[in-house]
Each structure stands twice: as C-alpha cells, then as structure tokens.
Structure 1
Amino acid sequence: MGSLAVSRLAVDDVLPSASIADQVAVIARKNLAPQAVAIDEGTVYPDELLRRLGDVGAWGSHQPENGAADLRCAIQSIAALGEVCGATAFMAWCQNTLVWYASNSDNPALVAKFAEKFASGQILGGTGLSNPMKSFFGIEKLKLKGRKVEGGYVVKGALPWVSNLGPDHYFGTIFEREDEPGSIVMFLADCSNPGITLQPCKPFLAMDGTGTYGVQFRDVFVPDELILAETARPFVKKIRAGFILLQAGMGLGLIKDCIQIMDEVDAPLGHVNRYLPQQPVQFRELHAEFEKETMALARDPYNADDSYWRRVVALRLRLGDASVAAAHAAMLHCGARGYLKSHRAQRRLREAYFVAIITPATKQLRKMLAGDEH
C-alpha cells in the first residue's frame, strides 16, 4: 500500500476559531475527497492526512478530565470524514480508540509516554480488540497468550486483522496469561518490535487502504510500561461504551452521504424514484434520531447502568442496519449510473456492509442484546 503526502492547508482554509469538527470537515472536502477512491482501492494509506487531522485536534477531544469524558466532538469529526470516505472514518475510529485506551489506563508511565503522542497524531495506530471482544461473548477464544517475566511479559500468537497499522504504529490488544489461566492483560503492541510481523491481507471488498494486516507475535517482550491494564476485564468494561459509541460516527457520516446521493438524482429521476419504497425523507428522520441519541449517550461514556449499556448496543445495531439500508436505497435511486465504478454509490454500499460487520457485528450485537454474555 502506498502513501500519498497531503499538502498542508493554507491558514485561511482552517480558521483557528472553527470547531474541531468543522476543521475536520474542511480537510475532508479539500484533502480527503481527492484520495477517497485511491484509499478504497488500497493504493494509498493516508498517514499524512491522519497526522494533519491530529494537528487540528481531531484525536484529542475525548480524553478524560477529572473522571469524566465527552465523545461528542470525536464522533462528529468521524462523521465528517465518513461523509466523504468510509475507510478514513474507520481509521479515525481506530486512532480515537487507541487514544481512548491510553488515556484511560491506570499505568502512569504509559499515560505519560503515549497519551499525548497518540492524541496529537504524532504516533498513529489502531485497536486489536476484535478477537477479545468476541471472546468475551463466547464467539472466539483469545488468540494471544502471555507469561510473566522480569520487567513485563512475553507474548505469542497471531491476530488475523488489525487496522491503521504501519511499521512505526502501536495498537491495543489483550492476551491470556498461560501462567494464570483465565487472567487476561491488556497492552500496547509496538509494531516496530522485531518479534512482531505485519502480514498483508488478501484484498477486501472495500477499504483496502486502511493499513490492515495480520499480526504475528513471536515471543514478543512487552515491558511493564506498555501494560494498559494488568486486569483487563474491569478496564474493558470501563472503555467498552466509548469503543462502540465512537463507531457511530462511521454510520452517521455514511448515511448522510447516501441521503445526499438520493437528493442529487432527484431532479433527473425523481419522477420514477418516487415509486421506490424508501425515500430520503425517511433516512433524514432516522439520521436525526440517531444523531440525537448518539449525542445524548456520548456525554456520559462511563455510565455503568445496564440500561445505558443496552441503549449503546441497540443504537449501534440500528446504525449498522440503517447504513446498509441507506446505501441500498441510494443504489436503487441512482439506477444504472450508480452501477458505474466511477460513481460513489457503489463504494458507499460496500462501505456500509463494513459498518454492519465490524466488531461488534450485527449478529454479535443481537447476541449481546439477548443477554447471552460469556
């Protein structure tokens, strides 16, 4: 996967007084839009763009202060990117989630060394919690194993897919202790470690430029300063609502652009599109409803009430379903013109399926709502 340098925006293009989400939206329109197809095809991994977004504060707004956190700005920023490119919205979620892990850790050495570097975009990275999140609900077994040694742990195993990675990136994930079965530890993996190998994946249906690799750990020494949580279960319970809520930005942005696509073809095709069962007005109402619920939940990501958690899961499930429905409707509204590879409607449809299957996927969310927790 290649890399494409992004020219710095002129000072006039992003006003310091503008909100972070507004600044992100400007960068999305001016700098991201021309790269969206290349990112989708996998010829570009937009690392310079991701660092530029860090410059305007896109990765730091949700860091906790005085025991509270607010995810609204982060979600709005992801949504602004998602209106233009689903792959970049996904990478934004990865980076924001990495910041969420580091800034919530009770390891002061880790927080001091990494939290601001992740939040500024100086260091990029992702989240390797797909396998652990599935393991918590009895879907998979943990794929990484570790044992305690002096000054840290030694970890081995392999993860099939971790995104927003490169040779100098980090990501958060979990291993089970071989010396204490049932005990799990969450840590930061350093991709520059010689014991870690990034293996390119087979081509995906969409979003190949997301820095997604299979990751092999061959007796990797993980020092104590990279331990996010010695006891991972309570830590995951603390950060899980934020992990899922940040994904809402992907769906909100995609649905908004699908509405725009339907509006764009209304003039030439509205006389026949009115016979289609799903109309943009319905998705506008849905989008407004989802946005209101997301913003309400995003104010309070540490809420420990079960009713709050169920609202988070239910919202995420509905967003996945609605993303697919909106992209499907956009394709039908476009007709043959949307079937052209040059039209973004088919890209949005492929990206929408990703919103529905990214962990926690639609089927896992339904399992969670059914109360079938491992």
Structure 2
Amino acid sequence: MLDSAFRQWLDANAEAIDQGQCDPHQVLAHIAESQLLRAGVAAELGGSGGEVSDGVEAIAAIANRSLAAAFVCWGQRAFIEYLLQSPNQALRERLLPSLLKGELAGATGLSNAMKFLSGIEALQVRGRPQAEGWALEGRLHWVTNLRKCGFVVAAAIECDAGGAPFVLAIPSDAKGLERSDDLQLMGLQSSNTAALAFHQVELARDWLLHENAREFLPRVRPAFLALQCGMAIGLARRSLSEVQEHLNGRGSFLEEARQVLHERLENTVGELKQGLHEGRFLAQPAALFKLRITLAECAADAVQLELQASGGKAYLNAYGEGFARRWRESAFVPIVTPSLVQLRAELHRQAASA
C-alpha cells in the first residue's frame, strides 16, 4: 500500500520522527504525497474511493514503519471523516481539498468529546452564543497534528445558553486561540502534539460541523475508533514479521506462538472490517470497544514476542533501536483516548446496567 519512496523515507526517518528530530511539517507532507489520505474518500470528493476500512489499512501500513507518522495520519484522516459526515457542505467544499493535499493540517480534538459521550468527563470548551456565532472559552489538553503553519481542529462545545452541545471546526488563525509548546512525550514527538487554550475565541456559524454533538459523535465514533485501530494493527504486524525474521524458519514454540497471534490478529481485523461494512458498530459500540481492546493486546503481545525471539540483541543499542521504538510505541497504544481502562470501564458499566 505504501509506494517505495515513502517506505524508504519512513525507514530512514522513523527514529528521528519518534524523537522529534524530524520537521513535523515533512511528516504530513509525505503522507499526503503518498495519496493514503484519500483512501476511503469518495472519488467525486477527491478521494480514491473505497470504504473506511481502506483508511484503516492505510494507517496500518504507515504504523508498520512509524507509529508517530501513523498517529499524524490518524489525526488528519479522522478530521477528514468528520467533514465527510457533516451536513455542512460548504465547509466540506472549502476545507477538504487542502486537507487531502496536506496543505492544511486537520486535528481531531474530539477525544474529550468521546469521553463525554460515555459519561467519563465534562466537555472542556464552552460557547456563549453571539449574533453571528459563539465566543469560546476552555482548554483541550492533548491534541495531535497542530501544525504551526496552519491547522483546523474539531471540538465539541458545551452551550452556555443550554440546549444540546455542538461540534465546531476551529481554524488556527482564530483570534484568542493559543497553542502551547509541543508536549514533551516519551516518543511520537514529531507529531505536533500540544494543548489549546480558548480565550474568548469568536467563531461564526459557518464553522459548524454539527449542531448536536449527541447525534454526531455516535455517528463518527466507529470511524474514529477504527482508524485509531490501524495504529495497533500496523505495529503488531511489524513485530510479528520481525519475529519471523529472527526465527528464520526454525520450528519452535515461538513459531507456534507467532502463528497463533497472527491468526488472532487477522481474525480481529476481519471482524473490524465486517462490522464497519455492515454499519453494526453504530448500534453496537460495545462490539467495537472489544475489538479495539483485542487489537491493543495483540500489539503488546507481538512486541513481547519480538523481544523473546531476538533475545539479548534487543537490549543492545547497535541492534535494538527499532525494537526499543516499537516497545515505546506499544506503551502508547493502550493510553490513546479512549484508553483501554476507559473502554473496559464503559463495558463494565453497560454490563452492570443490562
């Protein structure tokens, strides 16, 4: 799915991207140039056609070589999905071409909103109605793909006047919007991940993605989570391929374990794609939560199996650089919002109320 030039660039720069030694602007530019952002977007809208599951595979292909780059792709592709599912056609026509080309960065600021949907936390941005729109106050603590040369971020807004919360697209040049310095992460540093503060940010109604967050969020949640799953899928596949290379055809209990884990991974991927195709996760979000948990566990198990297959080599800087990065990447997969703890808590809550 990756062209050879993009594969070579990712392989040459994976460590630099992870450690913040690569210009984040280049990351999105290369992703866009690869045309992977167009996967699952209708041809008449500038995409390459297909379904959301094609977008999942695009992100998995990138995560196979760099989870940080896949994280950027997820943020961009998730925002594109919000536009595709928004009733605001004028906004879609205005923003989509530059997003698909990577000229504008799209940031999915809806992690807080997804937790709000499950009753985990309150919305962190409030909007006071004005004649032409709203004045926004609040903070988003962790948002990825906030490219310094220009971005647009999605956020769910609590309405001070009462009524349903709504979802806005907020451009980086809006007066009163303040971007923090990049967060100092253990890895995934060239991802333009920062916090946003809203100080009386005035925004007009033409930036409205949806007037009712409680309707819109459940509608986009399957794509939001499934595209996120692409990161775990790509990482797990890469570690399993490393295991196979280390074993080099030697039959052992490790090879049996690799085959079992490979089968579990691909069966789960198949369930994910089928559920997306059938639209099953709209009515059964718990089924998607369980798949997300399973895929995260597959990624963690695959990295551990890679460690066992490579042995002490993995702990030597000269040999284990790629493994050390994948180990850090596997530590991120369970905590990206919604975290596995949050998903399990929601499943427990649903089971208790059944």
User: Considering the TM-score relative to the shorter chain, is it more than 0.5?
Assistant: yes
> Where is the helix percentage greater, Structure 1 or Structure 2?
2
Equivalents in 2 of 1:205, 1:303: separation in Å?
33
Shift of 1:183: 2.4
Equivalents in 1 of 2:237, 2:3: separation in Å?
13
Shift of 1:83: 0.6
Q: 2:346 aligned with 1:368, yes or no?
A: yes
Counterpart of 2:55 in structure 1 is 74
Q: CA separation of 1:194/1:62 partners in 2, compared to 1, >3 Å: closer, same or farther? A: same
Q: Deviations 1:222-244 (Å, cap 9, x if unpaired)?
A: 11111101111101111111111
1:210 to 191, 202, 215: 191
- TM score, norm. by length of structure 2: 0.89
Counterpart of 1:125 in structure 2 is 106
Matches within 5 A, 1:304-319: 304-306=282-284, 309-319=285-295
- Which shifted more, 185-194 or 334-343? 334-343
Structure 1: runs of 5+ lacking an equivalent: 1-21
Q: For residue 201 of structure 2, give the secondary structure of its aligned residue in structure 1.
A: strand
Q: Which amino acid aligns with 2:77?
A: N
Q: CA separation of 1:239/1:186 partners in 2, compared to 1, >3 Å: closer, same or farther? A: same
Identical pairs, percent: 25
Q: Which amino acid aligns with 2:305?
A: A
Q: Deviations 1:93-121 (Å, cap 9, x if unpaired)?
A: 11110100111111122112112322332
Shift of 1:187: 0.7
Q: Which amino acid aligns with 2:15?
A: V
Q: Which amino acid aligns with 1:242?
A: A
Shift of 1:64: 5.7
- The answer to whether the 8 A contact 2:110-2:155 is kept is yes
1:280 to 258, 263, 274: 258
Equivalents in 2 of 1:136, 1:65: separation in Å?
32
Q: For residue 282 of structure 2, give the secondary structure of its aligned residue in structure 1.
A: coil
Counterpart of 2:83 in structure 1 is 102
- Which shifted more, 122-131 or 47-56? 47-56
Q: For residue 334 of structure 2, give the secondary structure of its aligned residue in structure 1.
A: helix
Q: CA separation of 1:363/1:349 partners in 2, compared to 1, >3 Å: closer, same or farther? A: same
Q: 2:208 aligned with 1:227, yes or no?
A: yes
2:18 to 33, 40, 46: 40
- The answer to whether the 8 A contact 1:64-1:104 is kept is no
Q: 2:235 aligned with 1:254, yes or no?
A: yes
- The answer to whether the 8 A contact 2:182-2:192 is kept is no
| Aligned residue pair count | 345
Q: 2:285 aligned with 1:339, yes or no?
A: no
Q: CA separation of 1:25/1:370 partners in 2, compared to 1, >3 Å: closer, same or farther? A: farther
Q: For residue 246 of structure 1, give the secondary structure of its aligned residue in structure 2.
A: helix
- The answer to whether the 8 A contact 1:69-1:301 is kept is no
Q: Deviations 1:226-285 (Å, cap 9, x if unpaired)?
A: 1101111101111111111111211111001101221222249x68xx466983222221
Q: 2:154 aligned with 1:172, yes or no?
A: yes
Counterpart of 1:264 in structure 2 is 245
- TM score, norm. by length of structure 1: 0.85
Equivalents in 2 of 1:217, 1:302: separation in Å?
36
Q: CA RMSD in A?
A: 2.5
Q: Which amino acid aligns with 1:318?
A: T
Equivalents in 2 of 1:216, 1:313: separation in Å?
30
1:143 to 110, 113, 124: 124
Q: Which amino acid aligns with 2:186?
A: L
Q: For residue 159 of structure 1, give the secondary structure of its aligned residue in structure 2.
A: strand
Q: 2:167 aligned with 1:186, yes or no?
A: yes
Q: CA separation of 1:254/1:106 partners in 2, compared to 1, >3 Å: closer, same or farther? A: same
Structure 2: runs of 5+ lacking an equivalent: none
Shift of 1:372: 4.0
- The answer to whether the 8 A contact 2:175-2:202 is kept is no
- Which shifted more, 324-333 or 232-241? 324-333
Equivalents in 1 of 2:168, 2:7: separation in Å?
36
1:294 to 272, 294, 313: 272
- The answer to whether the 8 A contact 1:28-1:80 is kept is no
